[in-house]
Structure 1
Amino acid sequence: MLELKIFQSKGENELFVEQSLQQLTPITSDEAVTTVTLDENQTFQVMDGFGASFTDSSAYLINQVLDNEQRTEVMIKLFHPQDGIGLSVLRNPMGASDYARDIYSYDDMPELEIDTELTHFTISHDEVDIIPLLQKALEINPEIKLMASPWSAPGWMKTSGSMIAGELKREYYQVYADYFVRYIQAFERHGLLTYAVTPQNEPLYEPKHYPSMLMLPESQMVFIKDYLKPSFVKHNMDTKILCYDHNWDRPDYPLTVLEHAKDEVDGVAWHWYGGDASAQSEVLEAFADKEVHFTEGSGGEWIPPFEQAFSNVMRTGIDILRNHSKSFVLWNMALDEKIGPTVPGFGTSTCRGIVTVNQETRELNYTLDYYALAHFSKFIRPNSLRIDSSSSCEIIRSVAFRNTDDSFAVVLFNDSEEAKNVAVKLQGEELLTFRLASKGAISIKINN
């Protein structure tokens, strides 16, 4: 006998609400039924999971602004598989990003001074807020995987002499590889294993108002092939190396890197700020043994809340997974009421966090991104296997997985302007029928 567990979102005032089969809106007899068919005989990628980033700003807000009771609540609601939404992938900026209270690396030096032996290397900054929260998250959910991405090398390694803009100097490629090794070793001493790294966040974007570093594909392939991977091998590190870490609109970048450093690269990391998720499949077709990861996508004021913004996360999240990604990671875990803090000189921020922590009132709120992520992370658990799901009408978007306990997880989104009749079938057997609200989402767990 099948057992169903269901969560549904019907709009801003009814988000991720648990419902029984009897509480679902029944189909109407005068309209066609869209059938979503699940086929466990066709399988695709194994999931690592879903998550966001403990940026310096996010970690500060959760660890220092919230009180103990609030901090415990939010960590449980973010990471606990039963009492929360079970987030299981965290991407850590290596040093300052745009969402940090100041600009810092792990080896800052006075102007015109260098430290090629990395004698001044320290992760003391992260030991205040970031590391305690990572340790707490892992305590709550031991299945969490940690990724790491730098926004910039230390300024003294770069042509700009600063963490703002510029490129990595060729004479410091080995030193920078050693910098990655030091980072991984330092975090491991805190019980934190680094699952994967990328050499550079958004390597084709060189903003002048927050840490950044231009790294063209020709440079990245040399850095990975001749320096980073050999350094990992030398130190017996099995941390994965993901190339690119930028938008869908430039698949030529990872294709170039993989052509010349195929054996040294484990996969490709993607962002959603340009292009289409089909780029993930395009590169996978050329390099079928490489992993696909989605490592950053932020909601923000450029997409009006609520409906359009919620729909964007649901629609795009399903596309990301249907295009073979093993992970779906949004951006800041927390931001404040002013959409910050940001680095000095950043200007106006427009991004949205998973939660909002008001620095003046200490009020804690969960944003639409939290509930959208919940539709995926609650039932699609780590190491689940994506199975085929096909819809008789493409306006009902779907993705489905088989978990390691043999349960099935199905996420559906009605991308039309009208409510639709929906039937879900598994191996030809109809499991349930219901009416799905316009721009509504539903997550279904099917236990055998």
Structure 2
Amino acid sequence: MKRFAPLLLAPLLAACATLGAPSPPAGQAWLTTADETAKLAPQPALRPLGPAIGDEDIRLDPARRFQPVHGFGAAMTDASAELLSRLPEAKRRALMAELFGRANGGLGLSFMRLTVGASDFSRTHYSFDDSDTPDPTLSKFTIDHARQYMLPRTREALAINPRLLVMISPWSAPAWMKTSRSLIKGHLDPAAYAPFAAYLARTVEAFGREGVPVSMLTIQNEPDFEPADYPGMRVDPAERAAIVGGFVGPAFAKAGIRTKILDYDHNWDKPQLPLGTLADPAARRTIAGVAWHCYAGDVDAQSKVHDAWPDKESWFTECSGGNWSPKFGEVLGWMTDKLVIGATNNWSRGSLLWNLALDPAHGPHKGGCGDCRGVVTIDPASGAVTRNVEYYVLGHASRFVLPGAVHIAADRRGGDVEATAFVNRDGSRVAIVHRTKGSGAVSFAVDGRRYQFDLPPGAVATLRWPG
């Protein structure tokens, strides 16, 4: 037998060992640019450039784990549900699969908000107990309005994505429960605290029987605001504490309802309001967390409440785009920074935009916002669907951050890029980044390896590495 010379054998063995060693994993990237030339567009594979050397712009650290994250989504308002329902069946099914599924590049939305009664994005103002006289036994309670469009479309979404998390919020208690005796303005009459708690319990139970399990609720949308032309109700912190701690919590416990109760459901500018509710011991025992909106203040308010009560969850539950901010690039950057990156970095477990769908006239609605924009726009005359900037903001997170993910550290070396990061249950790492200024390559340290990605000015990217 012919033998290899010793000097030739050693390098051959080394080469074989190198060939047998696993290669460092390549990452994937998707890009949306401020000038709209790329929208969730897949990019070339991210090949490792060698070992991380410590000067990377962003370093992912899966060992430093924070809150679990369920996902991202929008509200199935009456307006959204009606527009989706009126599409031709094949077109509706395709759009719903695109919004709630992940096959073929679907968004995979996994978080949804429903209204208890009417919001401004309803054709009429109503509650689930529109009695002309006090009805403390709720004899006239009905969810027929929700059965028309909202619940069927929510069931359809749940069939596509069974991990969809549903929360609910009333814009007003029934008029007969209020000091104003109207769905417009007013406080909840203390004599109606018990019927109101029963009203919420009945709603959760009724939705559940319709195939829509309710995971969370707030007792009032925007309780520090009394709108003049659509349902609303002021519920101050002491009132919320009394209602939740003394009535809603006990009513849910008696009925065996495990739906979580969140406080506040209002803007970042007044963290003292949820802190006021949480200062009450009975309410605090019942409240699972705090819900936030974007229309005033800044996202770091979420951390102020978390730092005071770290056992309470944080959820971001409403923000809308609209004609007041029409530029794609500006909305892309602001929403990504505040509602995806900022909300997550300030303890949010999920983020919701407002209307999932609106028509070209910003409706249907009655009162309230006359120039809001949906995640998609549906033209009821033609059936045309327009995917708005909000669609891409959500998609950069919802398509890649799966229910059960955990927020992990994404340490930044400079101030030109905002970032957040996650690890999914399958071990894959996901980073979402926005270039706030400058241009050029952004470097990443992931699992001891260096990667680089070119991020244009104002652009948003999602990067994913396998587990």
Tell me, yes or no, whether TM beats 0.5.
yes
How far, CA to CA, are the matches of 1:14 and 1:203 in structure 2? 40
Q: Is the 8 A contact 1:197 1:242 kept in 2?
A: yes
Give the letter for the 2:441 counterpart.
N
| Cα drift, residue 306 of structure 1 | 1.3
Moved beyond 3 Å, runs of 4+: none
Q: One-letter code of the match for 1:224?
A: V
Gaps of 5+ in 1: 27-32
Partner SS, residue 179 of structure 1:
helix
Aligned counterpart in structure 1 of residue 238 of structure 2, from 218, 221, 224: 218
Alignment match, 1:13? 37
Aligned pair partner of 2:262 in 235, 239, 242: 242
The answer as to 2:368 corresponding to 1:342 is: no
Larger Rg over CA atoms: 2
Q: Cα offset for 1:13?
A: 3.1
Q: Which has the higher mean CA deviation after the structures are superposed, 433-442 or 297-306?
A: 297-306
- Residues of 1 paired with 2:156 and 2:386: CA distance? 20
Residues 238-287 of structure 1, C-alpha deviations (whole Å, 9 max, x = no match): 10000000001110111011110211100000001011111100001110
TM-score of the aligned structures, taking structure 2 as reference length: 0.91
1:177 to 2:197 alignment: yes
1:131 aligned to 2:151?
A: yes
Secondary structure at the residue paired with 1:330?
A: strand
Aligned to 1:89: 111
Q: 2:464 aligns with which of 437, 445, 448?
A: 445
What is the CA distance between 1:361 and its match in structure 2?
A: 2.2
Map 1:303-342; keep pairs closer than 5 Å.
Answer: 303-316=325-338, 317-342=340-365
Please name the residue that 1:30 is paired with: none
Q: Is the 8 A contact 2:79 2:358 kept in 1?
A: yes
Instruction: For 2:56 and 2:92, locate their aligned partners in 1 and report how far apart those are by CA, in whole Å.
Output: 43
SS at match of 2:85: helix
Give the superposed CA RMSD: 1.6
Q: How many residues are paired up?
A: 434
Equivalent residue number for residue 60 of structure 2: 38
Q: How far apart are 1:22 and its partner, in Å?
A: 6.9
The 1-side partners of 2:329 and 2:292 are apart by: 25
The equivalent of 1:187 in structure 2 is 207
Q: Which residue of 2 aligns with 1:100?
A: 122
Give 1:359 shift.
Answer: 2.2
- 1:368-406 C-alpha deviation (Å, 9 max, x unpaired): 100111001111111101110011112211100010111
Question: 1:291 matched to which residue of 2?
Answer: 313
- Are the equivalent residues in 2 in contact too, given 1:293–1:327 (CA < 8 A)? yes
1:54 and 2:73 are equivalent in the alignment: no
Give the deviation of 1:340 after TM superposition: 0.6
Contact 1:34-1:393 at 8 Å conserved across structures: no
CA–CA distance in structure 2, aligned partners of residues 163 and 382 of structure 1? 36
d(CA) in 2 for partners of 1:395, 1:163 = 47
Q: 1:148 aligns with which of 150, 162, 168?
A: 168
Identity %: 36
Once residues 212 and 171 of structure 2 are traced to their aligned partners in structure 1, the CA distance between those partners, rounded to angstroms, is: 20
Task: Tell me, yes or no, if the aligned pair for 1:293 and 1:326 is still in contact at 8 Å.
Answer: yes
Match of 1:59, SS? helix
What per-residue deviation string (whole Å, max 9, x for no partner) do you get for residues 311-367 of structure 1? 111111211110010011000000000001111xx2761211000011232211111
Q: Secondary structure at the match of 1:375?
A: helix
SS in 2 for 1:126: helix
Change (3 A) 1:168 1:324: same
Cα deviation code 1:202-256 (max 9, x no counterpart): 0001011111001011100000000000001001111000000000111011101
